[in-house]
Amino acid sequence: MYATAIRRTIILIVMVATISVCTPLTIQADTLNPTAPPGNTMKTLQEVQPRRPLGQADFPLTITQAGSYYLTENITITDPNTHGMTITANDVALDLMGFSLTGPGSNGNGSGIYMNGRKNIDIKNGTIQKFSVAGIIEENIFGFGHRIVGVKVKQNGQRGISLNCRAAIVQACIVTHNGNQSTADVYGIYGLSDIKVIDNICNDNGFEATSTVYGIYVYDNCVVSGNHVSNNGTFALYAIYGIHGNDGTKVENNIVSGNGIGGAPVSTVYGIYNKNGTTIGNIVKDNGNGRLEPAFNGAQSVYGIYIYNGSVTKNTIDNNGYLVNGVHGIYAFAKGHISKNTVSNNGGGPDDGLFCLFCSGIFGISANDGSSVIDNHVFNNGINTLLDVKGIHVGEGCVVTNNNCSDNGGGAVLVFGISTDSGCIITNNSCFNNGFDARGNVYGISANSNCVISGNVVSKNGLQIDPISNNISVWGLKTTAFCTISRNTISNNGISDNQDVWGIETGDYCMLEANTANNNGVLQNNITTGSTGCILISNITP
């Protein structure tokens, strides 16, 4: 009975399966057809981002609501004490659409676009010009997040773009001819904190200003990159800065040239000034050069790059401070790391010398206590000047290694290839052909007490001394007391016959080991030591 039931169940299943396979599935085709044409789901640009047009009749204008605005024509403002546009709302986008916003070009208190503590203001694509104070200004440190892109800002009375705020961007702008003959401080671009200043052209600001001139000024934790900063502060009276940075700022890959030309004798010119920051990959050239006029040659002092702590790496510093009495290609006021730079042709002068108001001399690289100077190429600085010339000069406790220091101080008065204060490490440098045709004493390397001097090559310094100069001396290597001097090669220095020449001369209590000193001067004073406590081991002399 049970088996019979199973057989009936199997037969039933087979019959159902057979019917399912043999019977076609029928679907009504019209069930997939739409019941009506699709509706229009696209939105216009005005619906997606409502934009308000602005024309001459709207100006002077105050924007009080967030949103997007654009110019429809060139705008002119006639009152010098009125801002062209005041923005009192946050989250505003302004497209100048290639048009210009133009002020009256006379003295007053007005700026092109004025903000005070705003957030997230975007301004792009046009020209702002001829306002009394600034083209674009944010006055409040609580401003945040502004973006100024592709704007030409020119011929404003004191400042081009001035953002006294945080986290802003200034990019691809042209900032030119602002602050000419200004009595107030001049800023091409000004930024406070966390500002990015990228790929701008900033030139010809502060012409004949009787105040301090800054091409680009930023304060802390900023990035200044890819800008061309040139010809700012021409004939200006006081300090001129191509780029100024401060704590944590990175200044990289900029071209800084021709700033501070013909500055007054009381002025100081800085190609780049960066305190406690990083300065890398910049080209700094032709800044602070003087004029060929009687008793008015150029600025008092010129610095290609000036740092206070921080690092200077892979920069090119060339031809700064011609006709100037105090020139530093690179200067570290406090502990700095200076590496892989090329420093050349700074601080030259005419054959008949310079008018000297405050003569501080010509330095390729100058660094104060605790600095490191590594892998730099320093050459042709201080040519034909009646000043002292030092290729590399450092203070106490510094490291000077792997530098190439050559051809500095041709025709100068007193020449040092490398000079150091006490407690320095001076290793593996090449120092040659400094002080050619010099008018005074020449030192290949000069070191103070307690220095370690090792592995240096010092050659051909002090050749062809000026024939009309008398009592000139040449040293390949000169130290004071307590120095360790080893494995140096000192040769062919001071070969002219009218000089007193020493290959190596030391003070007391020095150790000299495995040095080679030969062919220095006609009298072959290759090694001369102090009278007390010196030790000589395995040195090679003729």
Is 376's pLDDT higher than 60? yes
Is 453's pLDDT higher than 50? yes
For residues 422-434, one letter each, b for 16 or more C-beta atoms within 10 angstroms of the residue's C-beta and e for the rest, the string is bbbbbbbbbbbbb
Average pLDDT over residues 325-348: 94
**Looking at residue 290, what is its pLDDT?**
77
- pLDDT tens for 377-391 read 999 999 888 789 999
Q: Could you tell me the pLDDT band of residue 48, with boundaries at 50, 70 and 90?
A: low
Weakest-pLDDT range from 129-143, 149-163, 490-504, 516-530: 490-504
**Looking at residue 41, what is its pLDDT?**
58
Average pLDDT over residues 364-372: 97
- pLDDT tens for 174-215 read 999 999 999 999 999 999 999 999 999 999 999 999 999 999
Q: Tokens 């300065």: give the residue.
A: 279
Whether residue 120 contacts residue 89, with contact meaning beta carbons closer than 8 Å, is answered with: no
Is 492's pLDDT higher than 80? yes
Task: Identify the bridge partners of residue 463 per DSSP, sorted by sequence position.
Answer: none
- pLDDT tens for 51-91 read 999 999 999 999 999 999 999 999 999 999 999 999 999 99
Separation CA 240–CA 272 (nearest Å): 10
The one-character DSSP state at 159 is E
Average pLDDT over residues 494-514: 88
Instruction: Output the average pLDDT for the chain.
Output: 89
**Looking at residue 12, what is its pLDDT?**
40
**Looking at residue 535, what is its pLDDT?**
97
The one-letter code for the residue type at 288 is: G
- pLDDT tens for 254-293 read 999 999 998 766 689 999 999 999 999 999 999 998 755 5
**Which residue, 298, 295, 337, is CA-closest to 319?**
298
